[in-house]
Amino acid sequence: MDLELILRVYPFFLEAAWVTIELSVLTAILGLTCGALGAAARMSRMSLFRGIGAAYVSVFRGTPALIQIFILYFGGPQIGIQLDSFSAGTIALGVNIGAYMTETIRGAIISVDRGQTEAARTLGMSRWETMRKVVLPQAARMMIRPLGVNINALIKGTALVAPISVIELTYTAQRFIGSTYKPFEMFLLSGILYMAIIYVVGQGISWLDRRAQIT
Amino acid sequence: MTEYAFVTIKNAAKSYGALEVLKDINLTVQRGQIVAIIGPSGSGKSTLLRAINELDPLTSGEVWLEDVQINRKLPFRQYEAHVNQVRQDIGMVFQHFNLFPHLTVRGNITLAPRMLKGLTEAEADTLAEEQLAKVGLSEKIDEYPSRLSGGQKQRVAIARALAMKPKVMLFDEATSALDPELVEEVNLVMKQLAEEHMTMIIVTHEMDFAASVCDRVLFMDQGVVVEEGPPSVIFQNPKHERTQNFLRKHLNR
Ligand SMILES: Nc1ncnc2c1ncn2[C@@H]1O[C@H](COP(=O)(O)OP(=O)(O)OP(=O)(O)O)[C@@H](O)[C@H]1O
Ligand SMILES: [Mg+2]
């Protein structure tokens, strides 16, 4: 193993890790937003919205994320959508993980006992008041862990933007392999940095989950 | 002046697909009256009770609370506003308590009054204290439901319903999920409500309780009211064979 090489290139990898973190954070925010909207649509009273929600989930879970990224980045300009690679990658990944998060959020909401809704409605609370004050606070606790799983997948999924030349961890490793011919060291370095990011995020999610279960 | 009956159910029918769960039920409950509904499992007792507050709307027929029809056919938004309003007058207690686990006892009792009646925090606190004192649980005000016994949970659930100052209370097997030694404390609270002349409709499997507290007993079977009358008649002198058979199984004599 070429330690000297690693010491020479690691600042570039740290910068790339920062890009991976940025991608992850933006993707997570977009994904959670899409997930919340998707879950609301899937559980809407109106069949049109339920249909849209179901179509969203099945399209984005039913095709490879890489294809979704390619369609947006390479295919986009053909239909008048011109995005830089970072934006295209973030949007495609965010909308993709949002489909998974839709199901996570919906699953947590429907796992709240029906009796909770009945009790609140019986007192005279409206659908929305019941959702906001009774169902969502309970569902929120139950969705922390599964959303954590989605976020873990999302961080690893950011590697999929390497082919459209976003200078994140995977792309950076590939770029240095081109000049150094040392794939073992380069991928190892990327891998370690991914693991560090995932470890920290995982700890944060465990902490949130513990806090939520206290009461 | 018209004397309105408190609760009126006219020609109530309910089906789930081909299954007729309620068949042409008529029932009038007067102000301050306490009615027990008994009958075998699956006879439609819960369905009837839950039709009163539109949890399980009827397929046909009418439900009235005083001069307000509860099950009005209205466009969605108006219907929602209407049921949200009328449900405030109808308290309901469930077999499995359905307390809100993420809220303290205080939070459980004050949530709806604060949201729906615009009580201030201080007013809501006073209300919670009053209602808890009534069910004998003042010291539990800051506990979470998970730390209460079944009997205590059900008493909090009753306090929560009473905090809306309902005109009528519905009980769906309020003590069926309780260990035998916890049943009495809940029955006591219900008896106390009876003494205050709360109008109550009580679905129960406890014949002794029905006999001692209720003014009238309805025996239901297969979606119809087979027989009704004062407890002395229903329990000592039932006319119908179906009632006799049911009571033979449920009264140990
Ligand atoms: N959502 C539903 N869909 C289909 N059938 C239902 C539904 N709810 C109730 N039923 C049926 O309606 C009938 C009456 O049920 P209900 O719960 O009112 O009986 P019950 O008298 O309360 O019985 P128990 O003493 O067991 O509580 C039963 O045959 C039940 O299977
Ligand atoms: Mg029942």
**Residue B252 confidence (pLDDT):** 62
Assign residue A80 the CATH number of its domain. Answer: 1.10.3720.10
**With a cut of 50, which residues of chain A have pLDDT below it?**
none
Kindly report the protein residue whose alpha carbon is nearest to atom 25 of ligand 1: B41
Kindly report the protein residue whose alpha carbon is nearest to atom 2 of ligand 1: B16
Q: B107 vs chain A: nearest CA distance in angstroms?
A: 11
**Residue B1 confidence (pLDDT):** 41
**Residue A2 confidence (pLDDT):** 81
Task: Tell me how far apart the alpha carbons of residues B86 and B84 are, in angstroms, rounded to a whole number.
Answer: 6
**Residue A197 confidence (pLDDT):** 96
Give A-chain residues touching B53 at CB under 8 angstroms. Answer: 122
Partners of B35 in the β-ladder: B201, B216
- Between the CA of B45 and the centroid of ligand 1 the distance, in Å, is 8
Q: Which of B14, B15, B16, B173 most suits a substitution to test ligand 1, by most atoms within 8 Å of the C-beta?
A: B16
Quick: pLDDT tens for B97-140. Answer: 999 999 999 999 999 999 999 999 999 999 999 999 999 999 99
**Residue A180 confidence (pLDDT):** 87
Residue B246 confidence (pLDDT) above 60: yes
Residue ranges near ligand 2 (ion) with Cβ within 5 Å = B 46
Quick: pLDDT tens for B30-59. Answer: 999 999 999 999 999 999 999 999 999 999
- Between the CA of B45 and the centroid of ligand 2 the distance, in Å, is 6
Residue B2 banded pLDDT, cuts 50, 70, 90: very low
- Between the CA of B172 and the centroid of ligand 2 the distance, in Å, is 7
Task: Answer yes or no: do B87 and A124 touch at CB < 8 A.
Answer: yes
Ligand 1 cavity residues, CB under 6 Å:
B 16, 19, 21, 39, 41-47
Q: How many CB pairs (< 8 A) connect A and B?
A: 64
**Nearest residue in A to B82, CA atom:** A124
Using CB atoms within 10 A of its CB, is residue B54 exposed (0-12), middle (13-18) or buried (19+)? buried
- Between the CA of B47 and the centroid of ligand 1 the distance, in Å, is 6
**Residue A129 confidence (pLDDT):** 96
Residue B253 banded pLDDT, cuts 50, 70, 90: very low
Quick: pLDDT tens for A12-62. Answer: 999 999 999 999 999 999 999 999 999 999 999 999 999 999 999 999 999
Task: Answer yes or no: do A121 and B55 touch at CB < 8 A.
Answer: yes
**Residue A213 confidence (pLDDT):** 80
Q: What is the mean pLDDT of residues B63-88?
A: 94
Q: Which of A143, A120, A176, A137 is nearest to A8 (CA)?
A: A176
Q: Which atom of ligand 1 is nearest to the CA of B173?
A: 27
Domain interval for residue A209 = 3-214
Q: What is the mean pLDDT of residues B215-235?
A: 94
Retrieve residue A51's tokens: 């249909």
Per-position DSSP letters for chain B, written without gaps between them: -----SEEEEEEEEEETTEEEEEEEEEEE-TT-EEEEE--TTSSHHHHHHHHTTSS--SEEEEEETTEESS----HHHHHHHHHHHHTTEEEE-TT----TTS-HHHHHHHHHHHHH---HHHHHHHHHHHHHHTT-GGGTT--GGGS-HHHHHHHHHHHHHTT--SEEEEESTTTTS-HHHHHHHHHHHHHHHHTT-EEEEE-S-HHHHHHH-SEEEEEETTEEEEEE-HHHHHH---SHHHHHHHHHHS--
Domains held by chain A: number: 1
Give B-chain residues touching A137 at CB under 8 angstroms. Answer: 102
**Residue B3 confidence (pLDDT):** 53
